Amino acid sequence: MAPQLDAYFKSVDDLSSNFVERLSQAVAIPSISAEDERRPDVVKMGHFLKKQLEDLGAHMEARELGQQPHKEHLTLPPAIIGRYPAKKDESKRTVLVYGHYDVQPANLSDGWNTEPFKLTVDEQGRMYGRGSTDDKGPVLGWVNAIEAHQKAGVEFPVNLLMCFEGMEEYGSEGLDDFIIQECKPGKFFEDADVCCISDNYWLGTKKPCLTYGLRGCSYYSIEISGPGQDLHSGVYGGTAHEPMTDLVRVMASLVDEEGNILIPGIKELVAPVTEEEKEVYKNIDFTMDNLYESLGSKTGLFESKERTLMGRWRFPSLSLHGVEGAFSAPGAKTVIPAKVTGKFSIRTVPNMEPADVDELVFKYVNDVFAKLKTKNKLNVSLQHAGKWWVASPNHPNFTAAAKAVERVWGVKPDLTREGGSIPVTLTFEQATGKNVLLLPMGSSTDAAHSINEKLDKRNYIEGTKLLGSYLHYIAEEPMDQ
Ligand SMILES: [Zn+2]
């Protein structure tokens, strides 16, 4: 039976100006995790969130995560965790939700049209401000959903467990171990039945989506060195092996101009595309013009949207990022750099195990370098690796969310994957052993991490309805999987 949601929806509409005010207060706290001097603001934001939820009767705790690795003089902002209702209702399911209350840096001088830490709503209902869509709007969506239930006198359908962190934009320092600990028997998150993360975006601007996959990322360095110091080409050009010459040849051998990874064995690790999967791609609301608009050019690799989306989501890609130690300034300096470090990464997909990828990369780079017969030295290494994640979109967690989307937005959501990574997703899946759903609130034009970040008021208010509706549908979705 479809849940009764009309009273809840009306309550959200009635409270909408309070909800915008709540977001405005949150945006006004510049909780930038990457800037040392803003750390008190990050902590202040965590306590603001805690207080908002306590005022609604939730049981909340601010858990310390220790000192910041590599910046030991800084204390990490607390994980704000909580439970609503404060006392568990054993007759109901338990949903664990995650979000983050820190934001990316922002300055008016970066090119913002409005003060980044003052929520500014234009006549089209676009709410500009740092953190509006990433991720304060979605986090407050959960708070709003609780309040709207109370005001409407509608019983809250589940036990809600909350995990809000303050270091997401700086690598989620300290969080992985904390989550793993708290998911153990007898700990705070032990009884989660499903997980939900609202911290990504629709593929476009019109149609909501549910996200069931993310690519991983393995990031490498190739260091090539020879001479004891930088040399002058007028004196030493033509007399010595040059590190830059070697590096360019090695880097050029990694990927071709059509985006094919040239490292033997990589292709063989990729799960084959199924017929069923091809069908899914056909119906996704995305056009080549969407790509061209976001690229700012027509330099796409493929002609079709299906192949383009597969290129972004379900095939690996290799990107060359830069060269440390190279002469990159303007002008015509005749230097021969003594040591250069090339950087590249591979976005990984099922079934590429990071350790297998490393082995193939190291072997190939060493082989290519050996063929150069240079007297320079090579050192290839992994900087960091995060694994890909793919969930089953047929799990009740997803079917419940799809019903909620249809109820609120009147359309079936697209099932999407993303080309990027949200590492905490995999942590929650592994630590709880439960299904994780990515349920976005904002749209593709929100400019998270960029200047003029915004969240459309419609996405915020309907998004609050969506989060609440999802809880009702997940409360009653048959769950025999
Ligand atoms: Zn985010």
Given 41, 135, 147, 168, the catalytic residue: 168
Instruction: Confirm whether 102 is a catalytic residue.
Output: yes
The answer on pLDDT for 250 being more than 90 is yes
Task: Decide which of 386, 418, 445 is a domain's last residue.
Answer: 386
Going by C-alpha positions, the residue among 457, 437, 436, 435 that lies closest to residue 446 is 457
Helix (H) or strand (E) holding 321: strand 317-324
Give the C-alpha separation, 137 to 144, whole Å.
10
Number of residues that make up the chain: 481
Q: What's the gap in Å between 158 CA and the centre of ligand 1?
A: 25
Task: For residues 366 and 422, state if they share a domain.
Answer: no
Is the residue at 279 inside a domain? no
Instruction: Confirm whether 276 is a catalytic residue.
Output: no
pLDDT category, 441, cuts 50, 70, 90?
Answer: very high
Task: Decide which of 369, 386, 403 is a domain's last residue.
Answer: 386
- Compute how many other C-beta atoms are within 10 angstroms of the C-beta atom of residue 15: 19
Q: Tokens standing for 219?
A: 């990031």
Given 102, 193, 446, 462, the catalytic residue: 102
Task: For residues 409 and 377, state if they share a domain.
Answer: no
Going by C-alpha positions, the residue among 279, 353, 356 that lies closest to residue 310 is 279
The answer on pLDDT for 122 being more than 60 is yes
* The pLDDT of residue 442: 96
Q: What's the gap in Å between 221 CA and the centre of ligand 1?
A: 27
Task: For residues 333 and 442, state if they share a domain.
Answer: no
At 450, which CATH number? 3.40.630.10
Task: For residues 87 and 124, state if they share a domain.
Answer: yes
Q: What's the gap in Å between 99 CA and the centre of ligand 1?
A: 8
For residue 170, give the DSSP letter: G
Give the C-alpha separation, 113 to 22, whole Å.
22
Enter the pTM of the model: 0.90
Q: Nearest 10 degrees: CA dihedral of 86, 92, 94, 99?
A: -60
pLDDT single digits (tens) 12-60:
999 999 999 999 999 999 999 999 999 999 999 999 999 999 999 999 9
> Do residues 142 and 80 lie in contact, with contact meaning Cβ atoms separated by under 8 Å?
no
Helix (H) or strand (E) holding 266: helix 266-269
Q: What's the gap in Å between 198 CA and the centre of ligand 1?
A: 8
Task: Decide which of 386, 411, 439 is a domain's last residue.
Answer: 386
For residue 133, give the DSSP letter: I
Residue stretches of the annotated binding site for substrate? 199, 232, 334, 347, 421, 449
* The pLDDT of residue 424: 94
Tell me the H-state helices in 74-201.
137-152, 175-182
Structural domain containing residue 431: 6-214+388-476
**In the predicted model, what is the mean pLDDT of residues 393-421?**
95
Task: For residues 399 and 340, state if they share a domain.
Answer: no
Contacts of residue 359, defined as CB under 8 A and 6 or more positions apart, other chains included, come to none
Residue stretches of the annotated binding site for Mn(2+)? 100, 134, 169, 199, 449
Q: What's the gap in Å between 168 CA and the centre of ligand 1?
A: 7
Q: What is the total count of domains within the chain?
A: 2
Per-state percent for the chain, helix, strand, coil, to nearest 5:
40, 20, 40
Give the C-alpha separation, 48 to 101, whole Å.
10
**In the predicted model, what is the mean pLDDT of residues 190-211?**
95
pLDDT category, 1, cuts 50, 70, 90?
Answer: low
Give the phi and the psi of residue 377 in degrees, each rounded to 5.
-110, 145
Q: What's the gap in Å between 199 CA and the centre of ligand 1?
A: 5
Place of tokens 């593929």: 203
Is the residue at 424 inside a domain? yes
Residue stretches of the annotated binding site? 100, 134, 169, 199, 232, 334, 347, 421, 449
